[in-house]
Structures are given as structure tokens and as C-alpha cells.
Amino acid sequence: MISRTPITDDLALFEEHKALSEHFSPAHLGVQVLDSSKHIMNTVMCLAEDIVAKTWYQDTDSMHIDYDAVSRLEDAFRQKYNKELIGKQMGQFHVDFDLKRSEGNIYAKESIFLDVKASHQSFLKMIPTTNIWNSITVRN
């Protein structure tokens, strides 16, 4: 360990340098997992686009489409890939919302929208903590 910088009472920044031959973080495995998940999501998302199922939101492991389009997407996936889309196995999807008991129209109780200035919090992976604290200090 080269240095320890306290940030708060229960948070500290540690700095350590290791030679590549001693570094045991298998980043290449993370890249492969992310690549596979993107491939799975894009396969389903592009098929949803082909059958004109509106995709409202997509992330690495989820997508929001109209509820009534799920069965159409499931049928199209089965026909095109000869696999089951809905299930509990790896590479399969499931509906997170149980709408069977719902009645009438469904409305959101609250919506939170972030503008470009606020969304920087989502993109701070792999940014050194010192850069974040320097940015906060400069702005305040």
C-alpha cells in the first residue's frame, strides 16, 4: 500500500501499485460477461423493434415494453430462434410486474427525470475518487 487518504469517518481512499504480473483482477472476464449480456439484450430489443413493440427503456439486463407486446415478442422469439424467451434460466426473461389483479388504468405515482447535468452520476465508473472530490471542491 502506498497511501491511505481518509475521506469521511467510514470511507477512505487507498492507493496501491502492482505490476501487471501481480495483478489478479480478471477484467477480461468482466468484459466477456458484459459483451454477452449486451448481445442477449440487443437480440431481444432488435426483435421487439422488428415486430413494432415499443421499447420504452433498455438497460444491461432489462427492458420496458408495452405489456400486451410481451406475448407477441415471446412468439416471435420462439419462431425465429427456436428457444423460449420467458423463463427462469440463464438468458431468459421474465415480467417483473404482476398486472393480473389490476383494474382500470395504471398510472405512475411518481416520475423522476434527470437532465444532462444530473446524469453524470451514472457515468462515474472507473473515475478516481480524487477527481470527484476535486470537482466538488471547485464547484462549491
Segments making up each domain of the chain, as ranges: 27-93+110-139
Nearest to 69 by CA among 103, 44, 90, 91: 44
Cell of 59: 438497460
Residue 3 three-state SS: strand
Locus of grid cell 421487439: 48
Q: Is the pTM of this model over 0.75?
A: no
Comparison of pLDDT for 25 and 13, the residue scoring more: 13
Locus of grid cell 501487471: 20
46-57 pLDDT tens trace: 999 999 998 888
